Chains A and B, each alone.
Chain A
Amino acid sequence: MKHAAPEGGIGARLPRLEDPRLLVGGGCFVDDLQVPGMLHLDILRSPHAHARIGAIDASAARALPGVAAVYTGAELAQFLRALPSAGGLQGFSAPEHHALAIERVRFVGEGVAAVLASDRYLARDACEAIRVDYEPLPAVTDPEAALAVCAPVLHEALHGNRAFELRIGNDTAEALAGAERVVRGRFVNQRIVPNTMETRGALAHFEPWQERLTVWLSTQAPHLMRRELARLLDFPEHRLRVVAPDVGGAFGAKNNPYAEELLAAALSLRHRVPVKWIEERQEHMLATSHARAQTVEVSAGVRADGTLCALHYRLVADMGAYYHAITHVGPMMTAALMTGAYRIAHAATDIVAVFTNTTPTDPYRGFGRAEAAYFVERTMDLVARELGLDPLELRRRNLIGRGEFPFATPTGHVHESGDFGLCLERALARLDYEGARREQARLRTVGRYLGIGLATHVWRAGFPSVPGGKGYVVSGWERSTVSLDPSGTARAVIGTSPHGQGIVTTTAQIVAEALGIRPQDVRVIHGDTDALAHGNGTMGSRSLVVGGSATWLAARQLREQATRLAAHLLRLPADRLVLRDGGFADREDPAKRITLAAVAAHAQAGPRDLPAGMASSLEATALFEQPNFVTCFGTHVCVVEVEPQTGEVRILRYIAVDDAGRAVNPTVVEGQLHGGLAQGIGQALLEEAVYDTAGQPLAASFLEYATPRAGDLPRFEVELTETPSSVNPLGARGIGEAGTVGAPPAVVNAVLDALAPLGVRHLDMPLTPQKVWRAIREARA
């Protein structure tokens, strides 16, 4: 059976179906919801980075009008389990992490007491009325310092502040010893804050007579949260419903089962009232996961011909004060991808993971992989400079070639397929690389500092399951159910939980393509655990490659069913049918025709006159999991001018060529790239979660923490290539994280290229005017 692609199917630049509602103020985010009688939860947070908690006097708070209850950590622990602390599941000793601190606080912002009150203003008043005696303890925020013998110890039950140590890779000592040259460097991928525009929030509603608990959460993984809440609350999972309504960005930071969401649910159960908690921005800066916070010491072994023969990292990874759900995975992913797009036979990372008196770290767009790309791309530039080679030339000599896939790295990762050179050559052509180099040389003679930075980045998306995983497991499969209504419209219920990625539109396009109908006639339902029994969620750029593939498979199965039934009703062989314009027609006699609606209505009518073995509704469910991560790649080129008088960095051009595998909606794909680029450029130039040595955060609001604004960013020149992937039926590759992976090295390489004539070898992000200006001044002195 053939079918003609409908308008708006795969590949169409369809304007998003989710937009109109959001444009007129008709979105529904957690804080937009009200349930009669709901109480507001507020959290009193520690002002100290490290302190023993003495007496807590909540009597004044409890006496305030409108205050229903106040809880301390010790009181809560009597009926509430500790939070998931995933490190422990991997054989590493994990500290206990409670929803509210017990006896000791270990970072500024850690919850100390919880208040329930009739409105949010009163809840805040009550927090302010609680008196806590703290005995401050010495704090440590620098991970290297935390490793020192005399450093203050965060978790006395563990051995010092070393969370775990792990080596990933093969032998590098011999290869390094045999290298003609060893280039060394130290790079910091600084701590940053996700800063979704919608902060976190929860509304928990326990209905005792129905024995039902509904929790609306600003989350990217409602099914995972259902499982975790059920476990932590000892509440039957089948009576628990988690809904992700509209979610205002997540970027990896809304995967974790956090204390506050758990508290809202626990207190709703205990008090038998609806409980709402909405995070404030300043709380978000302290209480939502931070990210990155990795430092490497690099040794790169190079042969005289400019090929790399060995790469070794000592990687210090800052876990923060506790583990969140998958904190420990970040450095492991960095290690797995440390060789980037290059053929390096010997590579290993020695990971040292450390606890410090800071907010716990966890995923953020590019988790582990952005760090890997940054380190290896900076290494390539450093090596090129020491060898006196053009960084482009060095990359060409080491890039994995088109014919070398699947390519196994020495760190246990297999690149399934790819064409790294394709993106590189496209980007260069767009820039006119030679011309740009000539212009740079000319401007240098008149005292102007132009820099060209390259990143030929590689990352991976759509993780497979880890067999036999225990405890906090995130499975690699995704599930979709597609059905036909008796009127001929379709619905897709999906297990991913989009929150800005445009997956409603792309899902509708995939179903439309498979069924030969308009995407407008497909309703996509997501984010509700009552609508789909099982799913995993949106994270790690898996929504299209894994979830979209499940939808594609389900829709194809549904089409086969419909075709069989249509053939049966038309008394024709199935291969004579063409599916177009919402119906099946005989290829040889188009007048013989039956609409999709008539087919669906016939099936619905009951189990009579159906082909053998067919059930009486047109519905198909498919589960899909990739056998391996999909390899994602691209080349970014950034051209900057550095103003030597002020240290200001101006981005003159930003070219991003990334491979989408298959772009279901190129407009949406480009949008994903834009957003990632903004975040990546933000990390390169503006953002940092700084602590002082006493553990006080110095960037705790938008006043001090600079997410990029419109005027901080250039116009992006974005191009897509489409090299089909081998691990999913759509051939798609992840794109959501490409920008945050590629932009930091491209920008930093550009700035250091600009500063090269001054002899500046390396600067750590963010490259603020002050830092750049100081480096120029020191270099000139």
Chain B
Amino acid sequence: MKIALRVNSQDVEAEVEPRLLLVHFLRERLRLTGTHIGCDTSQCGACTVHLDGRAVKSCSLLAVQADGCAITTIEGLAADGVLHPLQAAFHEHHALQCGFCTPGMVMAAHELLGRTPMPDEAQIRAALEGNRCRCTGYQNIVDAIRAACERAGGCT
């Protein structure tokens, strides 16, 4: 099937098999390998991308379902070689170790801050419900997200 979509502000057209998962399309066809796969039951969030501004798990969508949509992946966040404030906060707060969950965490956190400009710690922890990390114990991730939104003038 033919699909047309925007990925990281670029128009993309492709011929795909109906059963191709969006995450495989992004990773293997577009070579946007920053979006990861950590499970097969939609439980880990490593594959989180933005679809029309909403955070979605790209392992639980088919590529054909993204037809006509705008997608942002982790590769689309930093502009002109400058880290997005969330990415910078993850760096400053040691919020990543192996880095495998990180793109999904950043994309999920990004949506949270868009939705809830002043989240408290409990809200941040709750919002990360769909994202698993096995390395960090989450504390530094929570701190990074708080720092990023404080810098943006939010957070209590």
**Cβ contact within 8 Å between A701 and B134:** no
In the assembled complex, how far is the CB of residue A498 from the closest CB belonging to chain B, in whole angstroms?
Answer: 9
Chain A hits for B34, CB < 8 A: 24-27
Interface residue SS majority, chain B: loop
Q: Mark A694-723, 1 if CB is under 8 A from B, else 0.
A: 000000011100010111010110000000
Chain A hits for B78, CB < 8 A: 23-24
**Cβ contact within 8 Å between A196 and B97:** no
Chain B hits for A19, CB < 8 A: 90-91, 96, 99
**Cβ contact within 8 Å between A675 and B125:** no
Interface size classification for chain A: 35 or more
Q: How far is it, in angstroms, between the C-alpha of A739 and the C-alpha of B102 when the chains are bound?
A: 21
**Cβ contact within 8 Å between A671 and B94:** yes
Q: Mark A637-678, 1 if CB is under 8 A from B, else 0.
A: 000000000000000000000000000000110110011111
Q: Is the CB of B116 closer than 8 A to any CB of chain A?
A: no
If A27-B99, A671-B140, A715-B139 touch, whether A15 touches B132 (CB-CB below 8 Å) is no
**Cβ contact within 8 Å between B43 and A702:** yes
Q: How far is it, in angstroms, between the C-alpha of A578 and the C-alpha of B74 when the chains are bound?
A: 46
**Cβ contact within 8 Å between A668 and B94:** yes
Q: Is the CB of B110 closer than 8 A to any CB of chain A?
A: no
Q: How far is it, in angstroms, between the C-alpha of A34 and the C-alpha of B28 when the chains are bound?
A: 8
Q: Is the CB of B75 closer than 8 A to any CB of chain A?
A: yes
In the assembled complex, how far is the CB of residue A252 from the closest CB belonging to chain B, in whole angstroms?
Answer: 12
**Cβ contact within 8 Å between A711 and B129:** yes
**Cβ contact within 8 Å between A20 and B43:** no
Within 8 A of B (CB), among A383-412: none
Q: Mark A235-262, 1 if CB is under 8 A from B, else 0.
A: 0000000000011110100000000000
**Cβ contact within 8 Å between A677 and B137:** yes
Chain B hits for A500, CB < 8 A: 97-99, 135
In the assembled complex, how far is the CB of residue A505 from the closest CB belonging to chain B, in whole angstroms?
Answer: 10
User: Closest B-chain residue to A25, C-beta based?
Assistant: B34
In the assembled complex, how far is the CB of residue A738 from the closest CB belonging to chain B, in whole angstroms?
Answer: 12
Q: How far is it, in angstroms, between the C-alpha of A197 and the C-alpha of B37 when the chains are bound?
A: 9
Chain A hits for B17, CB < 8 A: 121
Q: Is the CB of B54 closer than 8 A to any CB of chain A?
A: no
Within 8 A of A (CB), among B25-56: 27-28, 31-41, 43-44, 46
Q: Mark A190-227, 1 if CB is under 8 A from B, else 0.
A: 00000111110000000000000000000000000000
Within 8 A of B (CB), among A24-47: 24-29, 31-32, 34
**Cβ contact within 8 Å between A701 and B40:** yes
**In the complex, which of the residues B20, B38, B83, B134 contacts A23, with contact meaning CB atoms closer than 8 Å?**
B83
Q: Is the CB of A523 closer than 8 A to any CB of chain B?
A: no
Chain A hits for B36, CB < 8 A: 29, 197-198, 248
**In the complex, which of the residues A20, A670, A679 contacts B134, with contact meaning CB atoms closer than 8 Å?**
A679
**In the complex, which of the residues A281, A676, A703, A715 contacts B38, with contact meaning CB atoms closer than 8 Å?**
A281
Starting from the known contacts A195-B134, A198-B38, 19 additional A-B residue pairs (CB-CB under 8 Å) come to: A15-B94, A23-B87, A23-B96, A25-B74, A29-B36, A197-B101, A197-B132, A197-B135, A281-B38, A281-B41, A282-B40, A670-B94, A671-B94, A701-B39, A709-B129, A710-B124, A710-B126, A711-B129, A716-B139
B residues near A (Cβ < 8 Å) are 17, 19-20, 27-28, 31-41, 43-44, 46, 73-75, 77-78, 83, 87, 90-92, 94, 96-103, 106, 121-122, 124-126, 128-129, 131-142
Rank and list the top 10 A-B pairs by shortest CB-CB distance, nearest first.
A25-B34, A248-B100, A22-B99, A500-B98, A674-B137, A678-B137, A500-B97, A702-B43, A25-B74, A32-B33
Query: Can you identify 19 A-B contacts, CB atoms within 8 angstroms?
Result: A16-B94, A18-B99, A22-B102, A23-B102, A27-B100, A197-B101, A197-B132, A198-B36, A198-B38, A249-B135, A500-B97, A674-B138, A674-B140, A702-B43, A703-B41, A709-B128, A710-B128, A713-B138, A739-B137
